[in-house]
Chains A and B, each alone.
Chain A
């Protein structure tokens, strides 16, 4: 390859492609002379006119020019508009006024944006990575608030309306038919009469007692219809549809927030976390205002680039490994993965045992009304404590073990993150699974009449709701306690005590990945729990609201900015991906509860149905026959199998199309390279001929 410098520069400047690039740059100084100076001016003028025409299609503010030039362009665009037909003129002016109105609305709504000033300050001082964590937290506050509005207005509000008799409304109860009486016995201890004040506190923390009969839990909604004047409001159907609505809403909002970048990152070949161009061209945070933060950013960028370059050399070394070394390393990795699996199974088994123990003991004491209340509270919180402990220890062990597996640093980070995500989310799954094993514990005919263990769990949905409630409260307490009892003392020690050991320990760094996993864990609990406890999103909103301020204070007062940020976990893409995993994991237990496990016959809106899902087939049976047949036809095999086959064919078609496009792109790339070589060659020949 001949070096570029061999070809004379002035020839290159006269090439049409260079001219058009300079024109598009909008440098007004170079525009005029370049036009006049080219040979073959007729073709050049035509090209410029064509470009002008292209430019004129886009509005003035999307052009990369200075304001003065944009003014000229806009005036010429307006002059052209005068020559258009009336219809086009009207369309253009109406779209302009629409855009103006939208921008006014956007300007007003920027006042309403929550915490705009706080997040802006954090961005200036700590950079975009940490700021994206706080934006994410704000997103969760809003999401939970909207979910609360949905559940409240469709489920709780009709009941409140009918209780106060507004709009002449009444509640209808339909007692279940064909059900044994023993299944419908449910007497929650609502703390009537004189009780110690201390009982209220205990009930607040465990969700039992007076809290159990409020609208917080599923058991309150033992209503089958609400009559508002003459219309019948089908509460069970509304309950189920509101559940699906909030799940769909969450999913759509997450997808919208991730935007095209998400799809692009999934589809594209290049590793989105590691591209050099991404690090260099998008490396500097232009929003940093603090010189100290800028200094740290410089250092971290230098470190990151050096690490990546070293990693590349390491990859080369890995590729050159001998077979004996490979065997050794693979067997070591398998061994360590076995250890990881063993640790995970240990975690899951202990969660299972503790949940079973807690359920057995707390149930017994409630039924017998013993007064060992504080121990009872401890027993009730035992699953939450074990889960939090597992969530804390697991990542420590993983980051210790992965050093022996000899991966590249970036892969190490990613694998540890994935393992931590898995531990956190699977813990919730195991808790729910152990709850269900208790509820559906059908040995020795415990559930003969009703399909579930009715003696211990007359209203099992409320129990599951209580577990989720306890998890959420405990999570909140831990998040409040850690800065108070760990971070602030640490900061005090570091600033006032000058022992070498403590100084080496240093201040806390703000670990983005840990904090993100924490709030996603809380959000998964909320998604699962909302079906069993419709007012749980309100608690989640308040919790995340307070957490924002706690984290902000912790960040500004006790943390120093991370010296070596992990770009993988600082990007929005990572948060949304993990949130999506949490969402999918939340849908699975919900699906099982709604569709497989028989609903309680003693409480709740689904008393008259076998499972919660049955509301929908029952409602469809009331539709006109034609619609019924269509809907049932859609659910039958005669429809499903051809539908599945058609979907497969369509998918294969798109895969083939994508592959063909990829081939064409490769060919075009090769052709571009060849053209570039040709160009250089010809220019050299011309220069030689000229001499």
Chain B
């Protein structure tokens, strides 16, 4: 079976190390390896541990293809030097670890902040929030909120979460407001 086959392709000590450094269990890591190597062309499958998969391939995964944040996820978890958002197997494991059930809410909120920070400046300002809401309501002209509604919505969000009233949400404020959200842990989850 595929399970037995892929178990022999990840060396045992590496498997143990991945278990130690991520929140994934052994079965989840092996399943991730199987799905990751399926994204590679046949010749590269043997050295899947060190190969990099381009972003265009990653977003074909069923777990990501319907996700409006697919590009941000690839960008945040990618450790590619060239900035092309390609993901190695370890990046893929990192992503699954953060989105797994056993990840702490601290880690989840940290990465959620990075995903929602569209301009990568370390804070969520009005432009970031506007892009976030547009991602949520969908692409297409008729699915966007009107500018008056958007203004009102962003105003409400900042009122609820911006503690120091500087017009932006920094990491601590974001983590604080998300810790009070009852739905965050159950919605910020991807299981293969």
Contacts and interface: CB of A to CB of B under 8 A. Distances in A.
Interface of A: 3-4, 18, 21-22, 24-25, 60-62, 64, 66-68, 70-71, 74, 100, 103-104, 106-107, 110, 120, 124, 128, 132, 261, 264-265, 268, 270, 272, 275-278, 280-291, 293-295, 298-299, 301-302, 305-306, 309, 312, 567, 571-573, 669, 672-673, 675-677, 680
Given A270-B180, A298-B143, A299-B138, A18 B122 contact: yes
A257 to B, nearest CB: 13
Interface residues on B, range: 35 or more
A286 B184 CA distance: 10
A281 B66 contact: no
A290 B66 contact: yes
A113 to B, nearest CB: 11
Interface string B151-187: 0110011001101111110110010011011111111
Contact of A286 (B67, B133, B170, B181): B67
A294 B21 contact: no
B104 interface: yes
B60 to A, nearest CB: 12
A124 B181 CA distance: 22
B166 A276 contact: no
Nearest to A107: B25
A131 to B, nearest CB: 8
A62 B98 CA distance: 9
A282 B181 contact: yes
A281 B137 contact: no
A290 B181 CA distance: 25
A312 B152 contact: yes
Contact of B66 (A64, A289, A672, A673): A289
A104 B143 CA distance: 46
Given A21-B170, A74-B21, A309-B149, A289 B63 contact: yes
Nearest to B83: A29
B166 A676 contact: yes
Nearest to B190: A286
Contact of A277 (B23, B157, B164, B186): B157
B187 A285 contact: yes
Contacts of B156: 276, 312
Interface of B: 17-23, 25-27, 62-63, 65-69, 77, 79, 90-91, 93-94, 97, 99, 104, 106-107, 110-112, 114, 116, 122, 125, 129, 132-133, 135-138, 143, 145, 149, 152-153, 156-157, 160-161, 163-168, 170-171, 174, 177-178, 180-191
A280 B157 contact: yes
The 4 closest A-B pairs by CB, nearest first: A298-B138, A294-B66, A107-B25, A282-B184
B190 A287 contact: yes
B137 A284 contact: no
Nearest to A671: B164
A676 B153 contact: no
B152 A278 contact: no
Contacts of B65: 289, 291
Contacts of B182: 261, 265, 272, 278, 571-573
9 contacts: A68-B90, A128-B187, A277-B178, A277-B181, A278-B180, A282-B184, A298-B136, A302-B136, A672-B164
B81 to A, nearest CB: 9
A280 B184 CA distance: 10
Given A61-B23, A286-B67, A302 B167 contact: no
